[in-house]
Amino acid sequence: MSAGTIKLESLLLNTPVISVAGEMKNDVQGLCYDSRRVTEGDLFFALPGAKENGVRFAKGAVDLGAMGVVAEERLQGFPVPTVEVLSARGAMADLAAAFHGFPSSSLAVAGVTGTNGKTTTTWIIRHLCDAVGRACGLVGTVRYILPGEVETASRTTPESLDLQNMLARMRDGGFRAAAIEVSSHALVQQRVQNVEFDVAVFTNLTQDHLDYHGSMEVYFEAKSLLFSGLKRQKSKKGKAIINNDDRYGHRLLDRIPGIPIISYGQNSGSHFRASNIRYSANGTTFRLDAKGRSYLVRTPLIGLFNVYNTLGALAATSAMGLELRRLVAAAATIPQVPGRLERVPGRRHFQVFVDYAHTPDALENALKALRELEPARILTVFGCGGDRDRSKRPLMAAAAKRYSDKVIITSDNPRSEDPMAIIREVESGLGDAVHESFVDRERGIMRAVELAGPNDIVLIAGKGHEEYQESNTGTHPFSDVSVAARAMATKAAAEAY
């Protein structure tokens, strides 16, 4: 990854160093953390991992042309400069920002964190910015949008080196803003260190990722890092945009003294307040009270949770200096967010939606939104991912049972686990509720569509935009939208209402 060249000794002025060995006046032509992708002149970062220590691959990186190695230990016997640091990830974040000329300082940057709503909120922020003439890039779960290209996302928040490169490409390609999903993993692993945020948005916090964080308190602390980091910014005085109706949002308000705060929600004390909410199959309308005025907001998105996502995005973009009246007008043309209550096309007397909901709260919110459309019945298809927080499996089932007329349990991404064992754990949350279970996700989806009658709604939850399925046999192509569309077409040939 190259953005020109810089002397190693000059680059190292941007991060704390414990010790150095070797010639520091050599040119750094690029940065790399994957030894398989090293090119001549790269500085290699030996990152510690859950399973492997990057130091193990340092010699291989040097053999491929790395001009130096940065590691969390003192390396011996290397023919290139070696640098010992306290945190390899922290050093990589520092040096990546410096190498690319601190690109976030040239962009209006919105960071969005929380359990649910990150993807939709960043998607709306980008749309609003674009609609009022401020070209905006996107980094998130579904895709990365850069000048002249769209990339399929490999992870919600990329490694700091990749993220700084993307921001530099946005800057150099004429973009003026960026919307970034910031995951809790990314915050703990310092991936957004040295990204200067104009606004940081907190959507909500519900149970997820406890396999990684261990407890809700640790999870909350991880999310809070985005906001405490605003205090340490060098070139910007960032603003915090907080969901005032979320209990963790309330707690966060008391933890960031000195940071300008803009709250949003239905609470009467919110700076951006929604009321008089009305739902239909074509979208949602609500009254917005903000900045001493009232507005009628129309959005094609459905559901209360999307009211919150829209509120957060409007508050964020307004805080970025954009005119609220124009932002409200642009909300009427928000495009469909892939895999977020995405309606599957098909001329039927029932509807099918695909949603990424993979937490109890997200599933409950999606089902509540669909209930607002007053269907005859809701048929829910969902599963739970393998090698992830097992405690939420029965909670997901309980949410599905509470708001569905028919539940079909199937596989999500079982990964290394036995799919049937996962299903059994999910079933424990259903009690005596009648349901059907299929290890084969395609069969589960086909069955739900087969059972759908006039004015019914089928919700296929868990995988959303994903176009693959992970199991112990590998990663295979799979799209909920494609399978559902095929099921609807097959049903049409056999049965018309």
Distances (CA, A) of 25 to 4, 79, 80, 95: 15, 15, 12, 16
Phi, psi dihedral angles at 33 (to 5 degrees) = -120, -5
Q: How far does CA 209 lie from the centroid of its chain?
A: 13
Q: How far apart are CA 121 and CA 192, in angstroms?
A: 18
- What global pTM score does this model have? 0.92
Phi, psi (deg, nearest 5) at residue 372: -65, -20
Name the average pLDDT for the chain. Answer: 95
DSSP codes joined into one string, 282-328: TEEEEEEEETTEEEEEEES--SHHHHHHHHHHHHHHHHTT--HHHHH
Q: Looking at residue 493, what is its pLDDT?
A: 53
pLDDT of residue 496: 44
Structural tokens at position 200: 């940081």
Identify the CA nearest to 118 among candidates 96, 91, 145, 139: 139
Taking 80 as the threshold, does the pLDDT of residue 494 lie above it? no
Three-class DSSP labels, 135-176: CEEEECCCEEEECCEEEECCCCCCCHHHHHHHHHHHHHCCCC
The per-residue pLDDT for range 235-278, each reduced to its tens digit, is 999 999 999 999 999 999 989 999 999 999 999 999 999 999 99
What does residue 149 show for φ and ψ, rounded to 5 degrees?
A: -155, 155
pLDDT at 492 over 70: no
Residue with tokens 């640091």: 85
pLDDT in tens, 342-362: 999 988 999 999 999 999 999
Q: What is the spatial distance between Cα 146 and Cα 169, in angstroms, rounded to a whole number?
A: 7
Strand-by-strand arrangement of the 272-280 sheet: 149-152, 143-146, 136-139, 177-181, 108-113, 199-202, 239-243, 261-265, 272-280, 283-290, 293-299
Q: What is the per-residue pLDDT for 206?
A: 87
pLDDT the model gives residue 497? 41
Q: What is the pLDDT of residues 128-183, one digit of tens each?
A: 999 999 999 999 999 999 999 999 998 999 999 999 999 999 999 999 999 999 99
Provide the residue count of the chain.
497
Q: Cα(111)–Cα(102) distance, rounded to whole angstroms?
A: 16
Find where tokens 């080196």 sit: 161
pLDDT of residue 1: 52
List, for residues 419-452, the tens digit of each pLDDT value: 999 999 999 999 988 899 999 999 999 999 999 9
CB-side exposure of 381: number of CA atoms within 13 Å? Answer: 32
pLDDT at 167: 98
Mark residue 437 as left, alpha or beta (left: phi above 0; alpha: psi -120 to 50; beta: remaining): beta
Q: How far apart are CA 364 and CA 245, in angstroms?
A: 17
Mean pLDDT of 384-407: 96
Distance CA 229, CA 233 (A): 7
Going from the C-alpha of 200 to that of each of 86, 271, 369, the distances in angstroms are 27, 15, 26
Domains and CATH numbers, the chain: 6-99 (3.40.1390.10), 103-333 (3.40.1190.10), 342-494 (3.90.190.20)
pLDDT of residue 4: 74
